[in-house]
Chains A and B, each alone.
Chain A
């Protein structure tokens, strides 16, 4: 079993829809949770960073962490065609330092 599970999709939605992306994990030590966006032929770009449980909002993006369920989510409101990309969840904990454990990534397509 992988430490981090993420549905690879693809997920196809119409422009303006609310998108929900999710990851589950098995290692209860994880404390730091991130979402990255990766466009084709580019490196991942950090979207959201959350420490421990709770919600964090940044513009159209909201990240949620539920440590009791070992489940994290990223919501995208008013999705745009420019949001079409692969979304990767990543997590780590103090002893791992800068070593991140990534999910497989979900391919998102927003149709105009």
Chain B
């Protein structure tokens, strides 16, 4: 079974631009979560999508948005990039019933975004 696939692997953008990152979950998984990982703040939850609906949201500004398609693939978008947005963006998928049911989150290898 293929794992969680994130594209692109690396991305370089300049301040003010926008960026779209893509995530393909494990086949059959309906939940996709996004996390930002930085050396200073560690891993922080951005949002979770389940069956094309945002189910949960972290404390990030509105410049960060996402969506999920009917095939469970997900994209996240960051508009008006700032230097502080440089980070590893990780996507995680799960069947969808939630951690409370002993469900595992499977992470992709991430997209390394550098904002210059």
**A residues within 8 Å of B by Cβ?**
31-32, 41-46, 49, 51, 88, 90, 92, 94, 96-105
Choose among A32, A43, A101 the residue that contacts B100 (Cβ–Cβ < 8 A).
A32
Question: A86 vs B96: C-alpha distance in the bound complex, in angstroms?
Answer: 27
Given known contacts A42-B109, A43-B108, A46-B105, A99 and B33 CB-to-CB distance under 8 angstroms = yes
- B99 on interface, CB distance cutoff 8 Å: yes
B107 touches A104 (CB 8 A): no
Known A-B contacts A32-B99, A43-B90, A45-B107; A96 and B56 likewise in contact (beta carbons under 8 Å): yes
Which residue of chain A lies nearest to B100 when distances are taken between CB atoms in the complex?
A94
Binding site for A on B (CB under 8 A): 4, 31, 33, 35, 42-45, 48, 55-56, 58, 90, 92, 94, 98-100, 102-110
Query: By the criterion CB–CB under 8 Å, are B56 and A104 in contact?
Result: no
Which chain A residue has the least Cβ–Cβ distance from B112? A41
Chain B neighbourhood of A104, CB < 8 A: 42
CA–CA, A43 and B33, complex, Å: 13
Assuming the contacts A94-B100, A104-B42, asked whether A43 and B94 have C-beta atoms less than 8 A apart, the reply is no
In addition to A31-B100, A98-B105, A100-B99, 17 A-B residue pairs with Cβ atoms within 8 Å of each other are A44-B43, A88-B42, A88-B43, A92-B99, A94-B100, A96-B99, A97-B98, A97-B99, A97-B100, A98-B31, A98-B33, A98-B55, A98-B92, A98-B94, A100-B43, A102-B42, A102-B43
Could you say which residues of chain A place their CB within 8 Å of the CB of B58? Answer: 99
CA distance A83 to B115 in the complex (A): 32
- What is the distance, in angstroms, from A86's C-beta to the closest C-beta of chain B? 10
Inter-chain contact A43/B107, CB cutoff 8 Å: yes
* A98→B56 contact, CB < 8 A: yes
Contact, CB under 8 Å: B104 / A46 = yes
Q: Which of B44, B90, B100 has the most CB of A within 10 A?
A: B100
Known pairs A97-B55, A99-B58; A49 contacts B45 (CB<8 A)? no
Residues of A close to B4: CB separation below 8 A: 43
A100 touches which one: B31, B100, B102, B105 (CB < 8 A)?
A: B105
CA distance A4 to B48 in the complex (A): 21
